[in-house]
Structure 1
Amino acid sequence: MGIILAVLLLALILGGFGFAVHALWVVAGIVLVVWLVGFLARTATGGGRWYRW
């Protein structure tokens, strides 16, 4: 019984870890798209960027 509970607990931990890693990849993709749009976009006043870095 204890082994079954340990395996189930391990499966829950690894499943949660996998979901967290997937969510981080989604966030990284969104940040990359926003960065690319900001890198390519120019302001109406000339060659300045809309971000400060």
Structure 2
Amino acid sequence: MVVISAGHSLYRRPETMDLLLAGEGRLVYDTIGLFSAERIVALRERHQVEVLGRGDL
């Protein structure tokens, strides 16, 4: 399980996204809307992704 609950600059780096995409089968919670719609689509190809507070997803 991965929970994003703070907007640290580390989470915004491409390397962090690469690490998330390297794994599979995780549950990813974005509680602050950090990920863009495009990143969420990419993550959903490998993980279950839940985003709080975004009605557009």
Q: TM-score scaled to structure 1, two decimals? A: 0.26
Higher helix proportion (structure 1 or 2):
1
Q: Whose Rg is larger?
A: 1
Higher strand proportion (structure 1 or 2):
2
- More RCO (CA 8 Å, sep 6+): 2
